[in-house]
Amino acid sequence: MPGQAPTAGEAIIDREGLQALLDALSARGFSVIGPRVRDEAIVYEAVREVADLPEGWTDRQDGGHYRLERRKDRALFGYAVGPHSWKRFLFPPQQRLWRAQRTGAGFAILEEAPPLDRWAFLGVRACELRALAIQDRVFLGGSHPDRSYAERRRGLFIVALQCGEPSGTCFCVSMEAGPKAASGFDLALTELLSPGSHRFLVEVGSPAGEEILGAIPHRPAGAADRREADALLASTASRMGRSLDTRGIRELLQDHPEHPRWQEVAARCLACANCTMVCPTCFCSTVEDHTTLTGEGAERTRLWDSCFTLDFSYLHGGSVRKEIRSRYRQWMTHKLSTWFDQFGSSGCVGCGRCITWCPVGIDLTEEARAIRASLPEPTHA
Ligand code: SF4
Ligand code: SF4
């Protein structure tokens, strides 16, 4: 809230302090993953120096549109989110699960070794923290936790970023998933840029974060720093590119499986699955088995899959969801409606990636709005 005093433990670091943070994480054995410019997009890759970060870049996003542009300042985190999400590290797009080796009359199963890397994620937005929490629920909740995900998640250090730059497709405010990161991080940075000053307000979220902050040069934050950070967050919240009316959305979608809008969107949808690949919460996968030509070995690989492919719903005798209409309906209804029944929350955090990276610019906020607008109020108000 504007005018609020800094919380005890809030500190200020400058650009050199940010490099010291990277060095301190590295010295503790973390591989730091953060934003970098590659192939004309901001992606998540290994980061060793502040110079690796996308200094002075921003992204312009809209339905089916993503372009990097130069900023007028030297912001290091002055963009929204790109095509990558953090799920690619915790739930890799392609991952060998096990190998089998023939041994005389039988065979031995060779378990995959857990990854050696301990990761520190740098620049995690509030919506992405919410997505991590959703994937935690999917992979770690219930009676059969995913061992690989658990091993990768364990020991993760998270440096969140309080969001100062929403994109044209963001709607985290509607999903109550941002722009402020309130928990789920070890440290949280707010990038504060003003003439002659480039600094970061640091919030501590865990004992591990406190230990790291203690190891790098910093100074206490003042009330003016906190005011500036609050103003930045308020500005971000007011500049969302999209919005979604979530009132009664669970029933709105579940109650209208035959709405003509599903056919209208199917006429535009290419069933390319881009939306599910970029989504930070989508978790569907398939497995492939391969054997060597000699028959001495075999292995099983897990790959990301999508409810948009015909094969995904293949049961004996054929696919359940033959039409694109039913595949789009399945995806959007799961995200915004039946996810509540399954996991107790929405499956969407409002990051906007599925809108930006859809080659034909299909926008789930627009689809939900169209269905709602066609129905008499107050059925789903
Ligand atoms: S459904 Fe779209 S906006 Fe929602 S979390 Fe997934 S990619 Fe982001
Ligand atoms: S909604 Fe867009 S991104 Fe998703 S499958 Fe259809 S065409 Fe591809």
Q: Which ligand is nearest to the CA of 335?
A: 1
pLDDT digits (tens, 9 = 90+) for 57-95: 999 999 999 999 999 999 999 999 999 999 999 999 999
Q: How many CA atoms lie within 13 A of 98 on its CB side?
A: 8
DSSP assignments along 26-38, one per residue: HHTTEEEEEEEEE
Atom of ligand 1 at shortest distance to CA of 175?
Answer: 4
Question: Ligand 1 center to residue 179 CA distance, Å?
Answer: 15
The DSSP code for 380 is T
- Is there an atom of ligand 1 within 6 Å of 178 CB? no
Residue 275 falls in which region: left (phi positive, over 0), alpha (psi -120 to 50) or beta: alpha
pLDDT value for 378: 58
Atom of ligand 1 at shortest distance to CA of 275?
Answer: 7
Question: Ligand 1 center to residue 351 CA distance, Å?
Answer: 5
The mean predicted confidence, pLDDT, of the chain is 95
pLDDT value for 1: 35
Output the residue whose Cα is nearest ligand 1's atom 5: 348
Q: Which of 128, 354, 363 to mutate to test the pocket of ligand 1 (most atoms within 8 A of CB)?
A: 354
Distance (Å, rounded) from C-alpha 163 to C-alpha 58?
13
pLDDT class for 225, splitting at 50, 70, 90?
A: very high
**Vertex 338 angle, CA 179 and 183, to 5°:** 30
- Is there an atom of ligand 1 within 6 Å of 279 CB? yes
pLDDT class for 4, splitting at 50, 70, 90?
A: very low
Q: Per-residue pLDDT averaged across 344-366, rounded?
A: 98
Q: Is 258 exposed, middle or buried (0-12, 13-18, 19+ CB in 10 A)?
A: exposed
Question: Ligand 2 center to residue 365 CA distance, Å?
Answer: 14
Q: Percentage of the chain with pLDDT > 90?
A: 92
- Is there an atom of ligand 1 within 6 Å of 175 CB? no
pLDDT digits (tens, 9 = 90+) for 286-299: 999 999 999 899 99
Question: Ligand 1 center to residue 350 CA distance, Å?
Answer: 5
Question: Ligand 1 center to residue 355 CA distance, Å?
Answer: 8
pLDDT value for 105: 87
Find the residues whose C-beta lies inside 6 A of ligand 2. Answer: 269-275, 308, 358-360, 362
**Element (DSSP H or E) covering residue 138:** helix 126-140
Q: With beta carbons less than 8 A apart as the criterion, state whether 178 and 125 touch.
A: yes
Question: Ligand 1 center to residue 337 CA distance, Å?
Answer: 13
pLDDT value for 175: 98
Output the residue whose Cα is nearest ligand 2's atom 6: 269
In SS3 terms, 268-335 reads as HCCCCCHHHHHCCCCCCEEEEEEECCCCCEEEEEEEECCCCCCHHHEECCEECCCCHHHHHHHHHHHH
The DSSP code for 376 is P
pLDDT class for 8, splitting at 50, 70, 90?
A: low
Q: Which of 269, 329, 356 to mutate to test the pocket of ligand 2 (most atoms within 8 A of CB)?
A: 269
Q: How many CA atoms lie within 13 A of 89 on its CB side?
A: 24
Q: With beta carbons less than 8 A apart as the criterion, state whether 276 and 306 touch.
A: yes
Q: With beta carbons less than 8 A apart as the criterion, state whether 74 and 66 touch.
A: no
Return the CA Rg of the chain.
22
pLDDT digits (tens, 9 = 90+) for 121-174: 999 999 999 999 999 999 999 899 999 999 999 999 999 999 999 999 999 999
Distance (Å, rounded) from C-alpha 120 to C-alpha 186?
10
Q: With beta carbons less than 8 A apart as the criterion, state whether 186 and 206 touch.
A: yes
pLDDT value for 2: 37
Output the residue whose Cα is nearest ligand 2's atom 4: 275
Q: How many CA atoms lie within 13 A of 62 on its CB side?
A: 0
Which tops the pLDDT comparison, 122 or 105? 122
pLDDT digits (tens, 9 = 90+) for 20-45: 999 999 999 999 999 999 999 999 99
Atom of ligand 2 at shortest distance to CA of 357?
Answer: 3
CB-based contacts of 283, cutoff 8 Å, min separation 6 = 87, 91, 135, 138, 139
Total-model pTM: 0.94
Nearest Cα to 123, choosing from 28, 72, 191? 191
The DSSP code for 51 is G
Contacts 24+ apart (CB under 8 A), 294-301: 295/102, 296/101, 296/102, 297/99, 297/100, 297/101, 297/102, 298/99, 298/100, 298/107, 299/96, 299/97, 299/98, 299/99, 299/100, 300/96, 300/97, 300/98, 301/94, 301/95, 301/96, 301/97
Distance (Å, rounded) from C-alpha 167 to C-alpha 303?
29
Q: With beta carbons less than 8 A apart as the criterion, state whether 324 and 310 touch.
A: no
Q: Fill in the amino acid letter for 351.
A: C
Q: Per-residue pLDDT averaged across 362-367, rounded?
A: 98
- Is there an atom of ligand 1 within 6 Å of 81 CB? no
Question: Ligand 2 center to residue 254 CA distance, Å?
Answer: 21
